Structure 1
Amino acid sequence: MKLLLKYCCIGVFIWVSSSAKAQEIAVDRNFRYLNLSPQVEIVEDKSKQLTFEQIPQQKFTTHTKESINYGFTNAYYWIRFRLKNNDSIPLSLLLESVNVHLNRIKFYYKNSNGKWQYLLTGDHYPFKQRPVNHPHFVFPVKLASQETAEYYLWVDKHGEQIQIPLELHSEAHFQDYSNKLFIFFGLMLGITGLFVIVSFFLFVFFRQKIILFYWLYTLSMWIFMIAQPGLGFQYVWPEATWWTSTARPTTLSFFYIFSLLFTRQFYPDLRRIRFLDLTTKGFIILLCVFLLLFLSQNPALGLFKNHWYNPVYYEGHDLLIAIKSLTILILIILWWIIGIGIYFYVRTREAENLWFTFAYSMIFVGGTVGIFIFLGLLPDNFITHNLFFVANPLEITIMSVLLANRYRNVHKDNSRITSELADQRQKNAIQLLEGQMIERRRLSQELHDGISLILANIRLRLSILTQKNPSPEMSELVEKLGEVGQDVRQFSQALSPVILEKYGLTHAIEELVEATKTSQSKVKIEFSHDLSDENVLPTLISQTLYQITLELLNNTLKHAQATHAQISLHANKNQIVLKVADDGLGYETTSKSGGIGIQNIRARTQSLNGRFIISRQKKGMLHTVQIPVQTKLFS
């Protein structure tokens, strides 16, 4: 009986001893990958006082879930697992923790002499302290042939949310996995970074608040996306441990601040709705208060000895409350922004508001999944962990398209208004020209039918008196009076030639040329045209071309000292082209060249949607006037 009791006690001891050991995980040369999380045992150290020497005597709990995720916590965690090399060759494996935001992590292993050693790293230590140069926490695991080894991990993330997804890789599998991971991160960061750069240059060009806030919130999200997978710590701030722990909460807070500011600019009517505007401002103020409080605890500022990230002094309670409060506030803000989009869609039924809502729904899905991971309500795997990497570029792409579409509509409206203003200016100019033409006709008739007849009557009477009482003075007076009458008739003809109205533009120019030849016999003047039907020309265009011809011909005769002048009038592709050339002295063809006459010609031409071109030739000048036949005259 005593012997039986003895064997039973030995059996129970052996069973207890074996059960106290972690489950062995067999590996060999064909091993590639294993999710280690459901294969480990865990001790939760709420007192944060246990040492490594005390841990083997603690009661470990077997973990069976796909991911080690305890949500928000204020404890340390000890993890144990055993590996067995069933192969005849030594193996080199890699242990990976995908969560790169663990404050402190120790990896305990036995060296070749059988003594326990550990590797210490975490985001509270410079990146160069990592055993493997990788954004994730990676530890080398060496197993001799047929060796069975036990390993421990000590993890500190107190005062925040904790996930410890553990994976075991062969070196070849880890290299392949890392390459695919970096391609994925590079693609998503590249898309987001492209929009950050484009939005920056758009702000520099347009200088508008909506683009400024859009750029700042895309920049905040891009920095968050760099910090989240540990790429920022690896490549951008490897020594700035004070920033590594605070980068995500800080950039996330800035992202939602600028998102709310952007929303206020995107919906100008929001500022007229008191409840919506005050609530949005309230959220911005709350985020700013959180940022000030959170950044004041940063060890880089040195404001508090017992700051939130000092593991020696601080037990983590206030930090835990702050992070939980930020998480809840972000969820509420996400719902609020989406609610604003829905409100304006219901109010206006514009597709733009529906797309705005959909875009922020992408952020909401990615952010909610991340928060549920923090709370321990969802597993921390590759899909859930990196969902926001897909959601954020998608949201930014949609918002960029919305902004581009809004500016396209603004550009269309501005173009329409500009076109209407241009039409109105042209209408005013043409009405002015038409008024001038009517006034010229009236003055011409007044001179011809009034003053001209009176002068002729006076000359006739003086002639009769001279015949009765001849004298040299009277004869000279009659002659001078005749010259004045001729000048009045010529002036009346220049204002509104009767021949222009009766016979058309070409006949009027021909008469002008013949009259000029008579008065200026030293200058040879030629006129050519190919107009067959002048009735298609509106009266205003004919009148304008005649006045321009008269002005240019007078300039040639008075200032050019020319001996030869050519006038041509041709129809060319729905436009009338008038050219006046001379072989005179010429002048510089600058934008300010010419006197009042040239400036008047340019103004008249532009009012009829035409062009006035001045070009200097080897000898003399060439003036070209092009006026569309189909010019809209508004009359």
Structure 2
Amino acid sequence: MIQFLVQSTRIGIGFLGVIVFLIFSFLPQKEKIPTSLPFTVLVDKGQAVEDVWNSPEGNRITNGTFNPGIQLNRWWIKAKLKNESDAGEEFFFLLNNPHINYIEVYVDGNKQPTYVTGDRFPFDSRPYPSRDFVFPFSLKSGETKEILMLLDKRGETFHIDPEVLNENEFTDRRGTERLIMGIVTGWMILTVVFTMFFWSELRHRSAFYYALYILLVFLWIFSHWGMGFQYLWPESVTWVGKSRPVFNLASNVAFLLTLINFFPPSPTQKRWNSWIRSLIWVNGLLLLAFLIIPESEIKPETIAFFLKGVLILSVVQILIALSYLIVQYLAKTPFAGYYLVGISFLFCFSLLLYVDQVSGAVQLSHYLLNFGSAFGTMGETTLIAFAFMRQASLEKKEKEKLAVKILTREKEIADQVISVQEEERNRLGRDLHDSIGGMLGTLHMRLQGISQKIQDPELQSIQNLVLQGIHETRALSHNLTPPHLDELGLVKALANQVEMLNQEGAIKVKFYHRLESSLSKSTELMVYRIVMELITNSLKHSEASEIGIQLVSDSGKLELMVEDDGKGFSVDQKMGGLGLKNISNRVNYLKGNLTIDSNSKGTTTLIIIPT
């Protein structure tokens, strides 16, 4: 199962890479999009709306992007929309930032806002149901509309990239973004499922923490896109502002726990252990603060301070994680290279985004701002999930090797036990034959001499009992010591026993055999013991007149079938007996299967042994 998942994931990674490459190949480039809208920006100083309408001051933005970083100002922006087509059209004004707290939209010099919306209002207050802020305007041919907006995002990162799209352009944009978000979502879910599977297989806490990390990062990305507000908490205006820092801090904790559990610090790396655990506590305390402090009581200055602190903390912990992984890599710790490359990949994206958010100096493109974190996370999770796959595959191979060693050792121990048992059986057989058998033979000869002198029926009865004891002793001796099994082989030894039974005349025995491959000595001995035990059971208990023995080897297995026409027995009751228990133990030793079918018409025992 693991091998299948590993191969499937490798194929999935390659397929994902091809898809992402094709997406970026066909995505419209920034300079080719004629939708960026020049606009004027003014700092809000509490002036009236009519004063802003009439104010000629402002900064002309020629590339359509405005990013002052983390600021404590509210901003006014002015722009013009014009329909230059020959027919009336529906236009969509986009800010390309789904996290603006408060927005007022004025049209054509009006002093009353046409739209009032923002993250501090329920989602259904938006003029258009979209994850981003979209404002629809219908313009006739040649018509122009002047737009004035008041934007409030004090204490947080402020980035807008105003665009105006007609209906077709807007549909294409939404389709492209949905495709990217669908791929990212599918990949993150797939990675979480795979990582949870590896956790169930490996039972390493690091896999569980990493699955939790991916899930939290995905929730952060989902919130960053504005999808969380649209689909998960459309009425929770207090949670909108908290969701991203909370998920960010929680994912930091989960990743640090993954790191310290996947690569436990050695005794010489105590300071790394202290630093990483300190970072876990700092993230945890900040997370707790964001959760319990009401957002309404936090001033913009405090929000800005905390946000910068979280951003700096994220960069610091990535640097510490990179340094720690470099130490582990230089120490030749397994899989450290995968983590190192994965974190480096994410760090490159994160650093660009953090610098852009704090200072606005990078001026990243619309797609990179919206999906850069997702692309960085996909690269990181791909490499680290592959590390878990490699670990699972290697551990599976190690377990298989260990299992083979254990089975081999168990087989060696079992062989030694059987060898000792056989030596003891042979010794007992020789003692029975030489000692007790000899004594009984001497006694029989003396009784025979006495009986020639004294004709006494009682003496004759004693002589018959002694003769019966000689036969029993000889049978026990032969049973304990298989006659010439090593020299004759299994088939010839069984054939001799069958011939002896047929000569005695008490029961008729048929023996059929077809062995296409040779058997090991231990297997021959076990099979011989099983056959003799089954014959003994039939002779003693079944009152059978005929026994059939069939021994066939074919296609890597040995089939032994012993049948009699006796009165049968209850299998459930007799399985507790010593004879059947011995048979069952020997079959288990040979890794075979035992099936017994018994009724009033006879008993059939089928044993299949792999060879």
| Category of TM-score, reference length = shorter chain | 0.7 to 0.9
Tell me the CA shift for residue 99 of structure 1.
0.8
Classify 1:529/1:32 alpha carbon distance in 2 versus 1 (closer, same or farther; 3 Å).
closer
| Aligned partner (choices 430, 435, 439) of residue 445 of structure 1 | 430
Instruction: Give secondary structure in 2 for the equivalent of 1:117.
Output: coil
> For residue 306 of structure 2, what is the aligned residue in structure 1?
322
Between the aligned partners of 1:69 and 1:274, the Cα distance in structure 2 is 42
Classify 1:592/1:356 alpha carbon distance in 2 versus 1 (closer, same or farther; 3 Å).
farther
Tell me the CA shift for residue 494 of structure 1.
1.5
Unpaired runs of 5+ residues, structure 1, are 1-30, 300-305, 309-313, 630-635
> For residue 413 of structure 2, what is the aligned residue in structure 1?
428
Tell me the CA shift for residue 88 of structure 1.
6.4
- Deviation track 1:218-244 (CA, whole Å, cap 9, x = no partner) reads 110111121111111112211111111
Classify 1:77/1:501 alpha carbon distance in 2 versus 1 (closer, same or farther; 3 Å).
closer
Instruction: Tell me whether 1:335 sits opposite 2:319 in the alignment.
Output: yes
Classify 1:506/1:594 alpha carbon distance in 2 versus 1 (closer, same or farther; 3 Å).
farther
Between the aligned partners of 2:456 and 2:546, the Cα distance in structure 1 is 43
Task: In structure 2, give the amino acid aligned to 1:387.
Answer: G
Instruction: Give secondary structure in 1 for the equivalent of 2:561.
Output: strand
The structure with more radius of gyration: 1
Are the equivalent residues in 2 in contact too, given 1:338–1:360 (CA < 8 A)? yes
Are the equivalent residues in 1 in contact too, given 2:49–2:111 (CA < 8 A)? no
Residues 230-379 of structure 1 aligned to structure 2 (within 5 Å): 230-269=226-265, 273-299=269-295, 307-308=297-298, 314=299, 316-348=300-332, 350=334, 352-375=335-358, 376-379=360-363
Between the aligned partners of 1:321 and 1:532, the Cα distance in structure 2 is 84
Instruction: Give secondary structure in 1 for the equivalent of 2:113.
Output: strand
Classify 1:106/1:413 alpha carbon distance in 2 versus 1 (closer, same or farther; 3 Å).
same
Tell me the CA shift for residue 118 of structure 1.
3.1
**TM-score, normalised relative to structure 1:** 0.84
Higher alpha-carbon deviation: 67-76 or 482-491: 482-491
Higher alpha-carbon deviation: 175-184 or 316-325: 175-184
Are the equivalent residues in 2 in contact too, given 1:163–1:380 (CA < 8 A)? no
Task: In structure 2, give the amino acid aligned to 1:125.
Answer: F
> For residue 98 of structure 1, what is the aligned residue in structure 2?
96
Task: In structure 2, give the amino acid aligned to 1:564.
Answer: E
Tell me the CA shift for residue 150 of structure 1.
2.7
Residues 581-592 of structure 1 aligned to structure 2 (within 5 Å): 581-587=563-569
> For residue 523 of structure 2, what is the aligned residue in structure 1?
541
Instruction: Give secondary structure in 2 for the equivalent of 1:53.
Output: helix
| Aligned partner (choices 390, 393, 397) of residue 412 of structure 1 | 397
Classify 1:446/1:384 alpha carbon distance in 2 versus 1 (closer, same or farther; 3 Å).
same
Classify 1:588/1:216 alpha carbon distance in 2 versus 1 (closer, same or farther; 3 Å).
farther
Instruction: Tell me whether 1:454 sits opposite 2:426 in the alignment.
Output: no
Classify 1:587/1:283 alpha carbon distance in 2 versus 1 (closer, same or farther; 3 Å).
farther
Tell me the CA shift for residue 513 of structure 1.
2.6
Classify 1:501/1:136 alpha carbon distance in 2 versus 1 (closer, same or farther; 3 Å).
closer
Classify 1:372/1:238 alpha carbon distance in 2 versus 1 (closer, same or farther; 3 Å).
same
Identity percentage of aligned residues: 25
Unpaired runs of 5+ residues, structure 2, are 1-31
Between the aligned partners of 2:163 and 2:62, the Cα distance in structure 1 is 14
> For residue 479 of structure 1, what is the aligned residue in structure 2?
464
Are the equivalent residues in 2 in contact too, given 1:84–1:147 (CA < 8 A)? yes
Instruction: Tell me whether 1:625 sits opposite 2:610 in the alignment.
Output: no
Classify 1:93/1:554 alpha carbon distance in 2 versus 1 (closer, same or farther; 3 Å).
same
Are the equivalent residues in 2 in contact too, given 1:106–1:119 (CA < 8 A)? yes
Tell me the CA shift for residue 135 of structure 1.
1.0
Number of positions where the alignment pairs a residue of Structure 1 with one of Structure 2:
577
> For residue 448 of structure 2, what is the aligned residue in structure 1?
463
Classify 1:321/1:503 alpha carbon distance in 2 versus 1 (closer, same or farther; 3 Å).
closer
Instruction: Give secondary structure in 2 for the equivalent of 1:483.
Output: helix
Task: In structure 2, give the amino acid aligned to 1:326.
Answer: V
Tell me the CA shift for residue 75 of structure 1.
0.8
Structure that is richer in helix per residue: 2
Are the equivalent residues in 2 in contact too, given 1:66–1:379 (CA < 8 A)? no
Task: In structure 1, give the amino acid aligned to 2:261.
Answer: Q
Between the aligned partners of 1:74 and 1:164, the Cα distance in structure 2 is 16
Are the equivalent residues in 2 in contact too, given 1:44–1:75 (CA < 8 A)? yes
Instruction: Give secondary structure in 2 for the equivalent of 1:82.
Output: strand
Tell me the CA shift for residue 212 of structure 1.
2.0
Tell me the CA shift for residue 53 of structure 1.
3.5
Tell me the CA shift for residue 136 of structure 1.
1.0
> For residue 16 of structure 2, what is the aligned residue in structure 1?
none
Classify 1:574/1:173 alpha carbon distance in 2 versus 1 (closer, same or farther; 3 Å).
closer
Task: In structure 1, give the amino acid aligned to 2:566.
Answer: G
Between the aligned partners of 2:268 and 2:118, the Cα distance in structure 1 is 49
Are the equivalent residues in 1 in contact too, given 2:120–2:237 (CA < 8 A)? yes
> For residue 163 of structure 1, what is the aligned residue in structure 2?
159
Q: CA RMSD in A?
A: 2.9
Between the aligned partners of 2:262 and 2:556, the Cα distance in structure 1 is 47
Between the aligned partners of 2:446 and 2:574, the Cα distance in structure 1 is 52
Are the equivalent residues in 2 in contact too, given 1:430–1:608 (CA < 8 A)? no
| Aligned partner (choices 550, 559, 564) of residue 546 of structure 2 | 564
Classify 1:589/1:464 alpha carbon distance in 2 versus 1 (closer, same or farther; 3 Å).
closer
Are the equivalent residues in 1 in contact too, given 2:501–2:508 (CA < 8 A)? no
Are the equivalent residues in 1 in contact too, given 2:198–2:389 (CA < 8 A)? no
Between the aligned partners of 2:257 and 2:266, the Cα distance in structure 1 is 11
> For residue 3 of structure 2, what is the aligned residue in structure 1?
none
Between the aligned partners of 1:218 and 1:358, the Cα distance in structure 2 is 17
Instruction: Tell me whether 1:129 sits opposite 2:122 in the alignment.
Output: no
Tell me the CA shift for residue 105 of structure 1.
1.4
Instruction: Tell me whether 1:50 sits opposite 2:55 in the alignment.
Output: no
